Amino acid sequence: MGLVLRPRMQARSQTNANAFPLASLTVCVLTYMSIHCRSLEGGAYMAKKTIAEIFDLTGKGAIVTGGAMGIGRAIVMRLTEAGAGVMIVDIDMDAASKVVQRVKEKGGKAEAIRADIRSLADAKKVVEATVQAFGSLDILVNNAGIYPISKALDTTEELWDRVLDINLKGTFFFSQAAAREMVRAKHGGRIINLASIDAVHPMGDVAHYNASKGGVMSLTKALALEWAPYGIIVNAIAPGSIWTSGSEKLRMEQEAAGKDPKEMLKKFETRWPLGRPGEPDDIAKVALFYASDAVNYVTGTTLVVDGGYLLS
Ligand SMILES: NC(=O)c1ccc[n+]([C@@H]2O[C@H](COP(=O)([O-])OP(=O)(O)OC[C@H]3O[C@@H](n4cnc5c(N)ncnc54)[C@H](O)[C@@H]3O)[C@@H](O)[C@H]2O)c1
């Protein structure tokens, strides 16, 4: 008998214990709204934008690192299509100029600047150039990254430093330079970092890369918390396998190491529930989402974009 009653009593006392915080939270929210908003229907927090307005980035200035190729190039195309002026940051100026030309042909605004994301001086220079070119800096996409294959037992200090410097240090100091400008201009902003599913599910032979992308995910949360008071929203995207020039290079490296790329592909194919590898535009559309007003109450998150790979 006692055995039957005790759980019920516990359940009731838990319900009562939960009821008070929930009621107080509701009162707090309603009090906040009555102070800060004119009315539930017409108040500022209810002001509704149309779908087109939510995704309209006209008048915004953006930086996309590694925007000359792959995922970065696709992000440049989507942000400029939405109306933003984009500064493409890359070490490959030939490829970057071609992207600028493509954007202009489509009626968008883009410029390219040569910069190595490892350099703090370059980060400052890029921010200044962006404000000068587009009037403000509102969006930063930390996309540039490298993923050279190396077994942990063979990884040299030079390779470790190169990968961590580009993928993690570059992300931090470009974020810092951008955030300083956003704080100075008092208009907030968006920072979008490229992580990887490899950070949570290592695929082998890239421990240095896994560590760098784990760092990017952790940094995303830390900066989101620290810069929320300035209206700077920080989120990350964790792509799965996306077909880009970088991943093609990886395939060639595997081939050179005597591995059959077709075997490797077969291994992956069985793990794509959506039946295909990702395209750069699959990531670019999510970057646009994070850059838009669709997510002005979301910060510190990492969105996995892997066609279901991690589920399989
Ligand atoms: N492709 C994938 O399958 C995949 C999966 C998960 C995560 N990612 C991440 O997405 C991002 C883009 O990957 P991608 O496959 O499009 O790469 P990519 O190699 O195709 O393009 C990377 C771009 O970054 C530039 N770049 C490299 N080092 C730079 C530096 N020091 N300074 C400035 N620019 C530099 C390159 O010139 C190039 O234009 C990376 O951060 C990568 O780790 C990619």
* DSSP helix/strand/coil, 87: strand
Q: Residues 165-185: pLDDT tens digits?
A: 999 999 999 999 999 999 999
Based on the residue annotation, tell me whether 309 is a catalytic residue of this protein. Answer: no
Q: Residues 250-259: pLDDT tens digits?
A: 778 778 877 7
Give me ligand 1 centre to Cα 194, in Å. 9
- Does ligand 1 have an atom closer than 6 angstroms to the CB of 60? no
Q: What is the pLDDT of residue 26?
A: 59
Measure the CA–CA gap between 164 and 161, rounded to whole angstroms.
Answer: 5
- Does ligand 1 have an atom closer than 6 angstroms to the CB of 217? no
* DSSP helix/strand/coil, 73: helix
- Does ligand 1 have an atom closer than 6 angstroms to the CB of 72? yes
Other beta carbons within 10 Å of 30: 11
Return the residue whose CA atom lies nearest to atom 24 of ligand 1: 66
Tell which residue, 234, 251, 238, has the closest CA to residue 283.
Answer: 238
Q: Residues 116-165: pLDDT tens digits?
A: 999 999 999 999 999 999 999 999 999 999 999 999 999 999 999 999 99
Mean pLDDT of 2-9: 36
Q: What is the pLDDT of residue 38?
A: 46
Give me ligand 1 centre to Cα 68, in Å. 9
Measure the CA–CA gap between 238 and 43, rounded to whole angstroms.
Answer: 36
Residue 273: phi and psi, rounded to 5, are -55, -30
* Ligand 1 closest atom vs CA 166: 31
Q: What is the pTM of this model?
A: 0.90
Report residue 4's pLDDT band, with 50, 70 and 90 as the boundaries.
Answer: very low
Give me ligand 1 centre to Cα 66, in Å. 6
Write the DSSP symbol of residue 310: G
The arrangement of strands across the sheet holding 85-90 comes to 109-114, 85-90, 61-65, 139-142, 189-194, 232-239, 302-305
- Does ligand 1 have an atom closer than 6 angstroms to the CB of 63? no
Q: Which fold has domain 58-311?
A: Rossmann fold (3.40.50)
* Ligand 1 closest atom vs CA 197: 6
Is 252 exposed, middle or buried, given 0-12, 13-18 or 19+ CB atoms closer than 10 A?
A: exposed
Mean pLDDT of 86-113: 98
Q: What are the structural domain ranges in the chain?
A: 2-44, 58-311
The answer to whether residue 15 scores a pLDDT higher than 60 is no
